[in-house]
Amino acid sequence: PFVLLVQQSQFDGSRAPAGKHTGYAYCHVPPGSVVDRQDVIEQQIERFAPGFRDRILARHTMRTADLERDNPNYLGGAISGGVADLWQFFSRPVARLDPYSTPNPRLFICSASTPPGGGVHGMCGYFAARSALRTLRRLPENLSPLR
């Protein structure tokens, strides 16, 4: 599986006791899944970091139902703001030509619920900012993306 792993304490020592580290990992599963992927995630990390399992002192696992309970926006445990099917890719959060705009001309949406979705980190905000600047007429139309 595709696993995302973060070890914050490597860069922020306040996140763990001296000489220890914290980290978290996750992989995407279908919304509403009841399958426990903990072992599969650890196996995948072990492939690239041999000895990883031997260093785990404690773990906390969350399943899709836990995610939805803790954050009602995670319908079925989908961490990207709902199901990311083909229809939703082009019509989230609502079907409109500019998915970042709202009925309020000075309010724009830049969350993972807008295209291209939460798996493309930072791009929702980038596109929302371009939409806002274009709407407010402060961005040239010919500005090339990602210089």
- 118, 67: one domain: no
Phi, psi at residue 24, to the nearest 5°?
Answer: -145, 155
**93 C-beta neighbours (distance < 10 Å), count:** 16
Question: Per-residue pLDDT tens for 15-74?
Answer: 999 999 999 998 888 888 998 889 999 999 999 999 999 999 999 999 999 999 998 878
- 36, 91: one domain: no
Phi, psi at residue 25, to the nearest 5°?
Answer: -140, 150
Single-letter code of the amino acid located at 29: V
Alpha-carbon distance of 110 to 107, in angstroms, equals 10
- 54, 94: one domain: no
- 71, 17: one domain: yes
Give the contacts of 43 (CB within 8 A, at least 6 positions apart).
none
DSSP conformation letters of 104-118: STT-B--STTSTT-T
- Give the structural domain span for 113: 86-135
140 found inside a domain: no
- 101, 72: one domain: no
| Model confidence, pTM | 0.63
